[in-house]
Structure 1
Amino acid sequence: MTEEIIIAGFGGQGVLSMGKILAYSGIMQNQEVSWMPSYGPEMRGGTANVTVILSDERISSPYLKLFDTAIILNQQSMDKFEDTVKPGGILIYDPNGISVHPSRTDIEIFQVEATKLAAEMGNKKIFNMIILGGFLKEKPIVKLENVIEGLKKSLSERYHYLIPLNEEAINKGMSSIIPYKAKEKVIQ
C-alpha cells in the first residue's frame, strides 16, 4: 500500500501540521514516510502545501506530480491541485471560501464543512483536525490511536491539554464528511 497525498491551503490553516501528524502516524505503524512542505515567505496568510507519502515499501522520491488524494482548503489550491489527483483518486475540501467547486467526474469528491464545524465547537484552530477526520473516514490508512500519538509528538507539551478537543474534532470530521457530485460541464 502506498498513499500519495497533497494537502494545500493558506498558511495558518494547519496544513503543515496535518501533514506532520499523518507522517508521525505512519512512522508509528512502521511505514515508510515522506513529508515535504512547501510555503512562501509570508507563511501565515500565504499559500502552503505539503506532500505526504505513506508506504509499506521504500519511497523512491518525495517529489510527485500526481496524487492519490488532495485535501484542498482554499480556492488558489483548488485551482492549482484539482487536476493533480490521479483518476480514481479522491479530493476532499472545505467549501468555505471556494467559489469554483471541483468539476472532475473521474475522481471521488467529498466536502467537510470544517470552518463551520470548528466555529460551532468554539475553536477555529481545530479546523485541520476536522478535515483530517474526514480524510481518515474515507481513507483509514493510519489508526486513530497513532494519530493521537502523532498529535502528542507534533504539539508542544504545554498544549497537550488540547488533545481531547483535537480527538473530538477528528471524530466530528469522520461523521461530517459528505460526497459531492461534480456538475457536468455544459458544452456549447
Structure 2
Amino acid sequence: MTEEIIIAGFGGQGVLSMGKILAYSGMMQGEEVSWMPSYGPEMRGGTANVTVILSDDRISSPYLKVYDTAIILNQQSMDKFEHSVKPGGVLIYDPNGIIDHPTRTDIAIYQIEGNRLATEMGNKKVFNMIVLGGFLKVKPIVQLDNVIAGLKKSLPERYHHLIPLNKEAITKGMQHIISYKVESALIDH
C-alpha cells in the first residue's frame, strides 16, 4: 500500500500540522513516511500545502506531480491541485469559500464542512482534525489509536489536554463527510 496525499489551503488552517499528524500516525503503524511542507513567506493567510506519503515500501522521492488524494481547503488550492489527482483518486474539500467547485468525473469527490462544524463545536482550531476525520472515513489508512498517538507526538505537552477535543473533532468529521456528485451540481446551475 502506498498513499500519496496533498493537503492544501491557507496558512493558519492547520494544513501542515494535519500532514504531520498523518505522517506520525503512519510511523506508529510501522509505515515508511514522507512529510514535505511548502508555504509562502507570509505563512498565516498565505497558501500552504504539504505532501504526505505513507507506504509499506521505501519511498523513492517526496516530490510528486500527481496524487492519490487531494485535501483542498481554499479556492487557490482547488485551482492548482484539482487536476493533480490521479484518475480513480479522491478529492476532499471544504466548500466554505469555494466558488468553482470541482468538475472532474473520473475521481471520487467528497465535501466536508469543517469550518461550519468547528464553529458548532465552539473551537475553530479543530477544523483540521474534522477534515482529517473525514479523510480517514473515506480512506482508513491509519487507525484512530495511531492518530491519537500522532497527536501526542506532534502537540507540545502543554496542549495534551486538548487531545480529547481533537478526538471528538476527528469523530465528527467521520460522521459528516458526504459524497459530492458533479453531474447533479452541473445540472443545478
Alignment RMSD (CA, Å): 1.0
The TM-score normalised by the length of structure 2 is: 0.97
One-letter identity of the residue aligned with 2:157: E
Aligned to 1:130: 130
Amino acid of the structure 2 residue aligned with 1:152: K
Write the distance in 2 (CA, Å) between the matches of 1:112 and 1:95: 7
TM-score normalized by the length of structure 1 = 0.97
Percent identity of equivalent pairs: 80
Q: For the residues of structure 1 that align with 2:150 and 2:30, how far apart are their CA atoms? A: 13
2:140 maps to a residue whose letter is P
Number of positions where the alignment pairs a residue of Structure 1 with one of Structure 2 = 186
1:28-47 paired onto structure 2 within 5 Å: 28-47=28-47
Look up the match of 1:90. Answer: 90
1:182 deviates by 1.0
Alpha-carbon distance between aligned partners in 2 of 1:183 and 1:131, rounded to the nearest angstrom: 24
Aligned to 1:163: 163
Letter in 2 for 1:92: I
Report how far residue 183 of structure 1 moved.
3.2
Question: Secondary structure of 1:183's partner?
Answer: helix
- Specify the code of the residue in structure 2 equivalent to 1:105: T
Structure 1 gaps of 5+ residues are: none
**3-state DSSP of counterpart to 2:150:** helix
Once the two structures are superposed, residues 143-182 of structure 1 have per-residue CA deviations (whole angstroms, 9 ceiling, x without a partner) of 0000001001111100111000000000000000000011
**Distance in 1 (alpha carbons) for counterparts of 2:183 and 2:153:** 41
Query: Could you tell me how far 1:22 is from its partner in structure 2?
Result: 0.4
Instruction: Measure the CA separation in 1 of the matches of 2:156 and 2:34.
Output: 22
Indicate the residue corresponding to 1:120 in structure 2.
Answer: 120
> What is residue 9 of structure 2 aligned with on the other side?
9
Q: Which has the higher helix share?
A: 2
Moved over 3 A (4+): 183-186
